[in-house]
Structure 1
């Protein structure tokens, strides 16, 4: 791979993709198909606003808060840092302090999720998440954007709501559902463009990074 090649760290949208339990699942069907005599191919897609690789707006958990319309492009276009997390349970202040997050930084967290969670046949409830204490530490450091390599910054069993409240309450922008399995830690250029969903609480996104 060329040093300047863009790397797609989005997960593909398909019927078999992982989805958060209780959210509407993804259904892709062929509405029109040249194979059945139609003049063109047209797919019908049913999915929710937090499908696959996506972003959370503060409105996702906070009534009356900012929506996807309020996303500043600086939050998702520019330099980012991919950091590897060794903890197999959660992203906590103990490990974050060693990484020295900076004010205004865009941080993408690579955990065991990238190698294991996406490969499981069903949704992985034991994915690595950001603890509420870790979330507060990131807020205190002034981080602008965080990205995680599974479907939620908060855990399934713990800190699901709390972590979202801490991050979104500080108007930190969140990218969820990344696949960093082929990415090494380091500095990258980032482009993450969410669907233009008017007043959206979140939106599926295409996310690319390029080594600096």
Structure 2
């Protein structure tokens, strides 16, 4: 199968000034340390950002004070067969019945689309999130990674972070802030490797889906 634009879906939002972040988190900023001109042959920038800007992988350190940093995680969960399931418009919590139509023979990775069009340019305080019992059932089904097209697998105002605590206990991995607007339901290959940030609580990813060989 040829690797062309028809077989790849880029499911990462743009990372740029104005990219939405949780209120109080560090926004993306870029400045030039050097620019091409007389005596300077290159452009070199410096960036400041939260590792939760854009599509990203949370590490256990994000929700567990004794958890591992993202650079210490096994990469295997972030690469391989996955299923995209639509639960468009479901708010505030995704329960099993919203996914049940597509749960037969689940692969190890599940990504859930909740937006008709993801709000890549604004913060959404009413984001959809997983009910913790849904995460438990996915883990029971052998799922090792869950992903969502919102900024969190828990409600934006949650303090208990019940779904994060389920993935801590069940040792699942998570991707947040995906863009699944143009992705039909079905099975794909996921490629979403985090950076080897040895002390960080999360990492940006360039998440893509690739069509499976027919």
Query: TM-score, normalising length from structure 1?
Result: 0.87
The match for 1:97 is 100
After TM superposition, list the pairs within 5 Å mapping 1:183-198 onto structure 2: 183-198=183-198
Question: CA 1:101–1:45 in 2, change beyond 3 Å: closer, same or farther?
Answer: farther
The match for 2:152 is 152
Q: Greater shift after overlay, 63-72 or 96-105?
A: 96-105
The match for 1:175 is 175
Indicate if the aligned counterparts of 2:71 and 2:194 stay in contact, CA closer than 8 A: no
What is the distance in 2 between the residues matched to 1:36 and 1:151? Answer: 43
Q: Give CA-to-partner distance per residue, 1:35-69, whole Å, 9 cap, x none.
A: 69843211110011222111011121012123323
What's the offset of the Cα at 1:5?
2.5
The match for 1:60 is 62
Indicate if the aligned counterparts of 1:10 and 1:53 stay in contact, CA closer than 8 A: yes
What is the distance in 1 between the residues matched to 2:14 and 2:24? Answer: 20
The match for 1:108 is 111
Q: Greater shift after overlay, 165-174 or 149-158?
A: 149-158
The match for 1:33 is 35
Indicate if the aligned counterparts of 2:57 and 2:176 stay in contact, CA closer than 8 A: yes
Indicate if the aligned counterparts of 1:132 and 1:162 stay in contact, CA closer than 8 A: yes
1:81 has 2:91 as partner: no
Aligned residues: 209
Q: Which runs of 5+ in 2 are unaligned?
A: none
Q: Give CA-to-partner distance per residue, 1:65-118, whole Å, 9 cap, x none.
A: 233234222201111111111452021122233332657610011111x60422
Query: TM-score, normalising length from structure 2?
Result: 0.87
Question: CA 1:158–1:206 in 2, change beyond 3 Å: closer, same or farther?
Answer: same
Indicate if the aligned counterparts of 2:85 and 2:99 stay in contact, CA closer than 8 A: no
Q: Give CA-to-partner distance per residue, 1:104-135, whole Å, 9 cap, x none.
A: 610011111x60422xx531111111122222
What is the distance in 1 between the residues matched to 2:38 and 2:185? Answer: 47
Higher helix share: 1
